[in-house]
Structure 1
Amino acid sequence: MSHVQQQIVELSQHLCRRGFFAATGGNLALRIDAQHIAVTPSATDYFSMRPQDVCVLRLKDLAQLSGEREPSVESELHATVLRARPDVQCSIHTHQPVASACTLLGESLDVPDPQLWGSLGKHIPLVGYAPSGSNWLAGKFGRAIRWDYNAYLMRNHGVLCCGPDIETTLARIEDLETFCRDYLLRQITQQSRNQSQSPAALARLVDALVRSSAGDTHSSTETPS
């Protein structure tokens, strides 16, 4: 169990360095076994987080079994995913910049590239807005979950990706960010056809937005052990 808690510390810090977690924003859960999950603690700076801060919860009712801090307010959100998807071992909620920007468009996104279907799914649903940490949000999310959807937009609230292990889930987070970047670039290009900007200039604009929003940290791609 302590190994899982250490994994959560390393994974959270990795996501901070990528610009996908910010300060105490963003959270995640790992399945320990059929009855238990480990989740990030609430309101904790991830670079000062210790393994003993990570919370172990009973999956069925979220009773806290260990951990020196309070569990993330989004524990019910992650538990909803892990209960509905027995194949999922890792659930990560990020505030990654470009995909989070797409949540403001107010629409679900189709994925036309078959090469991404195994990673993201054929469709990326938009879960309607509800307050962070609320049962309302978890309920809305629960109605959106499908076995073949691995990435979800949450209106005004970032995204969630899930997978059978840490490495696959991280890859899906990266695939989602790239997909959303390309989607936004197409949208900007279509809206700007009658203006003077060239597609190359627009691409540089989007790249600059990504670097600025991520604090120029997204060049680090090393996966936590």
Structure 2
Amino acid sequence: MLFESQRRQVVELCVQLSYKGYFAGTGGNLMQRVDATHVLVTPSALDYLSMTPADVCVLRLDDLQQMDGERKPSVETAMHAGILKRRADVGCSLHTHQPVASACALIGEALQVPEPQAAILGPRVPAIAYRYSGTTALANKVAQAVTADTQAYLMKNHGVICLGRDSAQAVAVLDQLEAFCRAHLQQLISQQQAQQPARASVLARLLGSLGGAL
């Protein structure tokens, strides 16, 4: 089996992301660079808690030809490949439906990031316009949005993408984005409480679900 140890690491990463609540069932996907030619991609429509190393797909990055793996690769393969082709410094691209950052993606507005979070996320978290999952249109939109100084991206109505030089850094970006989005939503809800006293109890419950006021 090609790249067995690296594929085992992908399985472990997917389990980690599932327990964090960033992956759920078959939702979410990733691509990891293993050398100058090959990448690993999560399979399509497979529960990550039942995935094995043999299920992880090995592809050539340049043409996405599948070299090994018992499953069909993720429908978002072209999207991840476009990122890795555009950013040679990126070794891991993660697409998740993590709850709090995905709520910000539903709002669909770019976020300005202050220091010290900007050192991890970048100065701004863009909001990429919605396109159907798995389409060339989505892959093109994402590739056009990716910049050298930004590691986190909201996808309108679709979740988030986070990047890193390796999987550890990409997960750190995911964690930082979730924390930043939580604080952002807490601030928005607190402002609404002051502006809409008639909805104060509803907003208080919503705020409580995010851990309370800042």
TM-score range, shorter chain: over 0.9
- Please give the alpha-carbon distance, in whole angstroms, between the structure 1 residues aligned to 2:207 and 2:104: 16
CA contact (8 A) 2:110 2:125 kept: yes
Pair 1:178 & 2:179 matched? yes
Distance in 1 (CA, whole Å) between partners of 2:87 and 2:119 is: 16
Kindly indicate whether the alpha-carbon contact (under 8 Å) linking 1:4 and 1:30 is maintained by their aligned counterparts in 2: no
User: What's the offset of the Cα at 1:165?
Assistant: 1.2
Q: TM-score, normalised by structure 1?
A: 0.88
Q: Give the Cα separation in 2 of the matches to 1:78 and 1:201.
A: 37
2:144 corresponds to? 143
Does the aligned pair in 1 maintain the 2:151–2:163 contact within 8 Å? Answer: yes
C-alpha spacing 1:70/1:189, structure 2 compared with 1 (3 Å): same
Partners of 1:30 and 1:202 in 2: how far apart?
36
CA distance in 2, matches of 1:37, 1:74: 13
1:73-99 deviations in Å (ceiling 9; x for gaps)? 011111011111111111100000000
* Rounded Cα–Cα distance in structure 2 between residues aligned with 1:104 and 1:167: 27
1:11-26 alignment, distance < 5 Å: 11-26=13-28
- Residues 114-146 of structure 1 deviation map (CA, whole Å, 9 limit, x = unaligned): 111121000000110001111100000011000
Deviation at 1:203, TM superposition (A): 4.1
RMSD, aligned CA: 1.7
Q: Name 2:51's counterpart in structure 1.
A: 49
Secondary structure in 2 aligned to 1:83?
Answer: helix
> Secondary structure of 1:179's match?
helix
* TM-score relative to the length of structure 2: 0.92
CA distance in 2, matches of 1:121, 1:135: 26
Whether 1:35 aligns to 2:37 is yes
Matched, 1:67 2:76: no
Structure 1: give runs of 5+ residues left out of the alignment: 209-225
Q: Secondary structure at the match of 1:183?
A: helix
Following superposition of structure 1 onto structure 2, how do residues 76-225 of structure 1 map, counting pairs within 5 Å? Answer: 76-111=78-113, 113-194=114-195, 195=197, 197=200, 203-207=207-211
Inter-partner Cα distance in structure 2 for 1:205 and 1:51: 36
* Higher RCO structure (Cα 8 Å, ≥6 apart): 1
Q: How many residues get paired?
A: 207
Superimposed CA distance per residue, residues 165-193 of structure 1 (whole angstroms, 9 cap, x where no aligned partner): 11111111000000000001111111110
Distance 2:209 2:100 in 1: 13
Alignment identity in percent? 49
- One-letter identity of the residue aligned with 1:205: S
Counterparts of 1:132 and 1:202 in 2: how far apart (Å)?
29
- Relative to its length, the structure with more helix (as a share) is 2
Q: 1:192 and 1:200, CA in 2 relative to 1: closer, same or farther beyond 3 A?
A: closer
Paired AA for residue 163 in structure 2: C
CA distance in 1, matches of 2:28, 2:81: 15
